[in-house]
Chains A and B, each alone.
Chain A
Amino acid sequence: MTELRAGQGAQTLAPPRIEARPQRYRDVLIALAAFVVLALLPMMFGSKQLLDFVIRCAAYGLFATSLNLLVGYTGLISFGHGMFFGLGAYGFGLMMQKTGVPIPVAFLVTLAITCVIAVIIGAICVRLKEIYFAFVTLAFQMLIHSTILSWQSLTGGDQGLRGGIPRPPFLGIDLSNHLHLYITSCALLVIGLLLMRQIAQSPFGYTLRMIRDNATRASFIGIDVWRAKLVIFVLAALFAATGGMIMALFVSGAYPEFAYWTISGEGIFINMLGGVTTFLGPMVGTVLLLILNDTVTRLTEYHGIVLGVVILFFAIGLRKGLMDFVVEWFAQRRGEGRG
């Protein structure tokens, strides 16, 4: 059906080059500024809790934003994206515990393993229609979860990877030092977001939007839909695994909950909470969910009810995420000012 290759078809959709370049510089500048602000945070507020919070935001934020590449940009509703979060955490933890290679090596090898697994799972899943896709990814998530539970000799079963993950210093960066861990997490977050932003704004990113809006038309134009979906599935998996690795470093271990379906459910919820139409929506959603989770668990043991009601409020009441709402509100105000 497709004689043209994905890249060639995509070029017709590319935004004008003149605009693209300044925007890239702007993104890099924003990323640098964000990193500087985050790096200065420990000097202004010494509280360990705040730093912990930012590290968790980095882990979940990378995960949720990568899920948005699938859900928001490509229209692939993955309900098993959390498996790559878990894979990242376990892959990295095991690599550090069993082999003792330097941290960057373990990082890259984990990404490579995730890439291979994501290609296999993605090749099976991405040709399925949306609801099948959602649940087959969920089933793969449960497959990985039950593998982790049953492969006790390697993963420690339901106890998780215990005994801590060794974190030998590398080039003067000592990740067992809380401040170093914090800065590294922030750096990974900012770099990850910047890369994902580049993917989203690239011609390939626009190809994905087109597949979301009308896959049939995209394939008539000569785009290999299956391949484009597979590529973004694998790329998103890599960023999710990075989030998982930050989490493994943070808790110095890996637990089966990291690969459980609720992580995927939370990811979808975060996207909904923040909104999928803006790039930073999932990041906003992450911060909101973590604050919500922390407050609610402190106040009541029935936090499922509270979270459920909040989800219902957004899904049925507001019908969109917070960032979608804010963006629309601004657009409306600007419209009024002009008119």
Chain B
Amino acid sequence: MDLDALASCLASPACLVTQTTSGLIIGMLLFLVAVGLTLIFGVLKVVNFSHGAFYMFGAYFAMTAYQLTGSFALAILAGAAGTAILGLTFERLFMSRVYGRDVLMQLLVCYAFVLIFDDVVRMIWGPEFKSMGMPAAFQVPPLFIAGGVVPPYYLLLIGVALAAAVVLGLGLARSRIGKVIRAAAHNPGMVSALGINTGLIYGGVFALGGMLAGLAGALAAPVRSLTPGMGFSVLIESFIVTVIGGMGSILGALIGALLIGLIRSFGSLSFPLFTEGLMYLFMVIVLVSRPTGLFGKEVA
């Protein structure tokens, strides 16, 4: 425990900028994973316990595409599109069989796929740590903002994630498809009676959630090491995010993710070994004061 480190960092603008940006990128990646989780829960009423696997696949797809084509844009696309297809397949073949069944069954099917997906990755890409490397376009000197070091790639990452948040928020609120999705979340029976294919909506939402997690994985690939099982810690963290923000709330996911990101980056100064513990403590505090999360409704 080293509270002086935290105090001296808070006093210096350079350190403040560095820690805040690193907190922001953790938060933004978590947001992309958590928002898919919360969307799937909001519409399909299942908790996708295997959501971390989509993050993992996104990263591995991006790495392979980057190695094959050398284009970073294609790598991001491969990560997002690949996991969208995977999500759709997974939902239609397996998850759709456990809708409305008890939570235990849903958890078990997902648990089975956590085990299977991790082993599939181990089979295809091997058990060792992999790294994709920073794409050439971003191998430039870092920017200095108020004396703090900010790699340009971080700005791209934050920008893409923010753009995704805005598109998603506006799309759900304004577009026709968005309205149908919100209606399906509210009353699937009525939506289906009005002649809308709810199976398609469910599959689409699951694919969208998977795609967002895959996008997060692809964006994380240059700055994180890739390993089978990398999805699980992300899953736990993004679950904490959705619990803090409130299940089913996109704004809640954004706020929760940013809070967790900042707690992680500043907490690591004072409690290097207990940063994870800090997150859990924070979640407990939120839950004790507001059992449905900061932005959750009573329905969850």
* Interface pair B103/A272, CB less than 8 Å apart: no
User: In the bound complex, what is the Cα–Cα distance between A268 and B102 (angstroms)?
Assistant: 13
* Interface pair A315/B123, CB less than 8 Å apart: no
Main secondary structure, interface of B, reads: helix
* Interface pair B119/A146, CB less than 8 Å apart: no
Per-residue contact bits, chain B 230-273, to A (CB 8 Å; 1 contact, 0 not): 00000010011001000100000000000000000000000101
B112 touches which of A134, A140, A315, A319 (Cβ 8 Å): A315
Closest to B109 in A: A315
Closest to A136 in B: B287
**How many Å from the CB of B117 to the closest CB on chain A?**
8
With an 8 Å Cβ cutoff, the count of chain A residues facing the other chain is 42
B274 touches which of A71, A146, A307, A314 (Cβ 8 Å): A146
A312 touches which of B47, B94, B103, B283 (Cβ 8 Å): B94
User: Which chain A residues in 80-130 approach chain B with CB under 8 Å?
Assistant: 124, 127-130
Q: Which residues of B contact A149 (CB under 8 A)?
A: 273
* Interface pair B243/A265, CB less than 8 Å apart: no
* Interface pair A142/B280, CB less than 8 Å apart: yes
Closest to A129 in B: B300
Per-residue contact bits, chain B 270-285, to A (CB 8 Å; 1 contact, 0 not): 0101101100110110
* Interface pair B97/A139, CB less than 8 Å apart: no
User: Which chain B residues in 130-177 approach chain A with CB under 8 Å?
Assistant: none
B111 touches which of A129, A139, A311 (Cβ 8 Å): A311
* Interface pair A304/B115, CB less than 8 Å apart: yes
A316 close to chain B: CB less than 8 A = yes
User: Which chain A residues in 270-311 approach chain B with CB under 8 Å?
Assistant: 272, 276, 302-305, 307-309, 311
Given contacts A136-B243, A309-B116, contact A150 B277 (CB under 8 A): yes
User: In the bound complex, what is the Cα–Cα distance between A146 and B277 (angstroms)?
Assistant: 6
7 smallest beta-carbon distances between A and B, as pairs: A150-B273, A308-B116, A304-B115, A311-B112, A143-B280, A304-B119, A308-B112
Given contacts A128-B291, A139-B280, A268-B111, contact A315 B105 (CB under 8 A): yes
A135 close to chain B: CB less than 8 A = yes
* Interface pair B120/A305, CB less than 8 Å apart: yes
Q: Which residues of B contact A268 (CB under 8 A)?
A: 104, 107-108, 111
A79 close to chain B: CB less than 8 A = yes
Given contacts A140-B280, A302-B123, A316-B97, contact A135 B109 (CB under 8 A): no
User: In the bound complex, what is the Cα–Cα distance between A272 and B107 (angstroms)?
Assistant: 11
Q: Which residues of A contact B271 (CB under 8 A)?
A: 150
